[in-house]
Structure formats: C-alpha cells, structure tokens
Amino acid sequence: MIIDDRLARKVVTKRKADSHKGTYGRVLLIGGFYPYGGAIIMSALATVKSGAGLVTVATERDNIPALHAHLPEAMAFDYEDEELLAENLAKADVVLIGPGLGENSKAKHVFDFVLSEAAEKQILIVDGSALNLLAEAMPISIKTHHLILTPHQKEWERLSGLAIADQSLEKTQMALEKFLNGTILVAKSHQTKIIQGNQVGELTVGGPYQATGGMGDTLCGMIAGFVAQFKGNLFATVAVATYLHSAIAEELSKEAYVVLPTTISAALPKIMKKLSE
C-alpha cells in the first residue's frame, strides 16, 4: 500500500453537520504512572487534537492537575479507583494502554485487568511498557477482535522472539501470526512499516529530527484518535495516522533542528482540515 496524501484524503473526511461528540468515539487512555506522567499527557494531547470525541485518562491522581493544565478537554481519574476504571473501560470504543505505564506490580495488575475485560467490539492499542507486559503474558486469550501493537525494534524483539538483525518483513509477518488474527503491527524504526497479514505499508517520510522522548506517545495517541472517529478500513486509518505523524514532523523540520512531539499535535487540526476539503 502506498501511504501518502491521497490516502490521507480518503481517510480524513469532512464532518457531517448532524454529528456530535459521541459520533467521533470514546477513547480511554491508561498510563502515566510515576515517574512517567508526561507520556500519557502527550498521548492525550494527540488523541484530542486529532479529533476524538470524548477522551478519558486513567492515571495517577498526582498527575491529573498537570494533565488538566495542558488539556482541560480531557477527563481524568485515579487508576486505583477500580469501579471508575471498569465503568470507563466498558464505555470506551478505543482503549490505549502503555504510555508511561511502567512494569511494576501496579502496572501489571491494571494491564491484566484491561486484557481480561476488553470487549469484542473494542479496539485495543498496546504501546510502550505494556508491550513488555504483553510479551510476559504470552500466549494470551482476549475477546477483542481489533488489536493494534506499536513496538519499536527492541520491544518487537521481546514480543516476537526475533533479534533486531532478524526482523525482516517475511519473518515479522510470520511472527505476527501468533497474535490475534487481523492484528495490526506498527513496526517503528527509521523505516516504519504498518503490517496486517499480507497488507504492508512503509513510510517514506520522517527523519532524525523525530528522535526525541515522547514521539511514540504522540503517535499512539494519534492512532487512537483516528481509529475512534474514522470508521472505514482500520488498516488504512492506522497507516494514515502513522504517516501524518512523520509527514507533519518532516514539514516542521524545515524550520526546526528538533521537532517536539507536542508541536506535531498542535499542528494536527489545521492539517486535517486541509486534507478534508
């Protein structure tokens, strides 16, 4: 699949006049446990800025004031409130777990709960440290039919058993077969690929100006926002979110030595507006 502005224009469509916030999806983001509070804030910024209708964050209580200072549009609650966690998990169309989650016993408890409770209709995105928890939990049995994994090469090594030097396209496709049928893999590297079965898309945009903390947190937040609101082909939607993340960074790099993840999120609404016209 060629991933470019033409595909982006097919995915990012004009909003209908008779729509409302519920039309554009409910997203639950889980992460930002101490000392990684900024990760979930960057993910939430990207999810809201990319147009998700209702965004809720489960994080540590101490992280909520910082989150709301950056993003009053997102709702937030203490992840230790298990009743609220169960309630918001049940309501979500899309669940993103992992940015700043960590791998301690608290993180593992929340991760196991989400894995066991994610419903068949929900889209589950696993990112960051949750990928390492997933590797430890394999083999898994989950109800959801829509799983998206966003590992960098070392995380994919843990998940797949493939050393970085052995992560060819063919071997990666074979390794992906041990996951849920239809799983979408965003294999992050200097040549990021999006893979689902025999469907493969490779980015031709992006560069070293993206090599800074929080870039992956922003990417998975964008993916969450896109799949929540654009109900067409899931593979194409994930591919376009991934493409725009790097395409926007490439444009910003013309005037910046380093592109910060939050500047990508800030540019999203205007870029999406142009694509939808």
The string of pLDDT tens digits covering residues 253-262 is 999 999 999 9
Token readout for 134 is 């997933």
- Whether this model's pTM surpasses 0.85: yes
Using pLDDT thresholds of 50, 70 and 90, give the confidence band for residue 1: confident
Q: How far apart are CA 248 and CA 218, in angstroms?
A: 12
Helices 82-91 and 105-117: angle between axes, nearest 10 degrees: 40
What's the pLDDT at 141? 83
pLDDT number for residue 96: 98
Task: Please give the structure tokens belonging to residue 254.
Answer: 């013309």
Mean pLDDT of the chain: 96
Contacts of 237 (CB under 8 A, 6+ apart): 11, 226, 227, 230
What tokens appear for 56 in the block?
């809720």
Q: Pick from 225, 205, 235, 267: which is nearest to 10 by CA?
A: 235
Q: Is the pLDDT of residue 139 over 90?
A: no
Quote the pLDDT of residue 140.
Answer: 83
Give me the percent of the chain exceeding a pLDDT of 90. 94
Instruction: Express each pLDDT in 104-135 by its tens digit.
Output: 999 999 999 999 999 999 999 999 999 999 99
Identify whether the C-beta of residue 129 lies closer than 8 Å to the C-beta of residue 101.
Answer: yes
158-198 per-position pLDDT tens digit: 999 999 999 999 999 999 998 888 999 999 998 899 999 99
Please check whether residue 231 is in contact with residue 113, taking contact to mean a CB–CB distance below 8 angstroms.
Answer: no
- Order of strands, edge to edge, in the sheet holding 199-202? 75-78, 54-59, 26-30, 94-97, 123-126, 146-149, 184-187, 193-196, 199-202
94 strand-pairing partners: 27, 123
Pairing of strands 146-149, 75-78: unpaired
Residue 15 has what DSSP assignment?
A: P
C-alpha 277/C-alpha 47 separation (Å) is: 21
C-alpha distances in angstroms, 116 versus 103, 111, 119, 167, 186?
18, 9, 9, 29, 23
Per-residue pLDDT reduced to its tens digit, 42-84: 999 999 999 999 999 999 999 999 999 999 999 999 999 999 9
Confidence check: pLDDT of 90 > 90? yes
pLDDT band at 11 (very low <50, low <70, confident <90, very high): very high
What separation in angstroms does the CA of 43 have from each of 70, 105, 216? 12, 23, 9
Please state, in angstroms and rounded to a whole number, the distance separating the CA atoms of residues 40 and 227.
Answer: 18
* Percentage of the residues of the chain whose pLDDT score is greater than 70: 100
